Every structure is written in structure tokens, then in C-alpha cells.
Copies of this chain bind each other. A is one copy, B any other.
């Protein structure tokens, strides 16, 4: 059971992840997940609409963290607003969640339909951040470039954070990768 939460919901999430990993996402049924968690199907459906939602639940909270971070910043430079969004979103990935996130990612990478949904989620995040920057008075192309740079940093951070042997915190890695992107674009030759 993940340490960052507890209860039936997490027992179901852990059971699902274990079954998805051992026998594949497609071949796993809700009945099997519930049984593996020692719970009923009825209980499963109290928490999740379907088995896919086990992997994508909490996505509204995830996006909200970016937006709250941006809204709470008094910065005016677009990339500073994006940095504030990224910093706040790092709170979604405490170290205790790393093993779960890693296992989840392996399942998603193994299933094209899930990978597409994950990809779509990232595009939607860029669109949402662009709109939030435009609301703050940022010109549209600038807003889109800044938002996409932010999502790129986020994705690279996530990949680094779940890499085998990685012990750095999400927040620390993300600051490093944002600095890396800034350095990469700093020199016009």
C-alpha cells in the first residue's frame, strides 16, 4: 500500500497495478482487481468508474496544482509564471509515490491506447497553461511557447525521477532540468 495514502482506494490501486503488470492491462478484469484487494466489485466502483481510471484518477488535482501555482505567483515574466506552476505541481510527486509512478508508467508504455491517453493529457496540460498565461496578459504565441517549454521540462523531470536508481526529489530534478533548458537556449550562435 502506498504510504502517502491508505484505505480501500489504495488497496484497489495497488492490486490493479500488480495485476496489470503481471498479466497485462487488457486481460485484467475489475472482478480480479477487487478479489486481489479483498474487496467487492461494488466497492471498486465506489472509487473508480473503470479499470483505466485506476491509472488516471487524480488528474484533475494534477492539473489544478499547475494552475494554483501559476495563480499564486506575482511574477510577470511568462517563464517565471510557468516555473511557479511547475514548482507547485512537484507536490504531486512525493518520494513515497515514486515506486507506484514507475510501475504505472511501465504499464502505460506497454499499452498504446493508454500511452495515447497519457500523451493527450500532456497536450491538454499545455493548452490549459497557455490559456492561463493568456489570462495573465501574455501574448498568445509567447504563452504557447512558455507553456510547451514547461510541459517539456515536466515530462523530462518525470522520466528522470522514475529512472532506475534515481534518488533526487522531483522538485530538485525539475529545477535542474529547467536550468538545463534555459542554458540550452541561452546562446544564439
Task: Verify B119–A184 contact, CB threshold 8 A.
Answer: no
- Stretch in A36-44, A90-98, A99-107, A147-155 touching the partner: A147-155
**A184 with B141, Cβ < 8 A, contacts A116-B120, A120-B116, A148-B148 known:** no
8 A Cβ contacts from A146-189 to B: 146, 148-149, 152-153, 155-156, 159-160, 177, 179-182, 184-189
Q: How far is the CB of A109 from chain B (nearest CB, A)?
A: 13
What is the interface residue range for chain A against chain B? 20 to 34
Task: Verify B75–A145 contact, CB threshold 8 A.
Answer: no
Residues of A near any B CB (own CB < 8 A):
75, 77-80, 116, 119-120, 123, 141-142, 144-146, 148-149, 152-153, 155-156, 159-160, 177, 179-182, 184-189
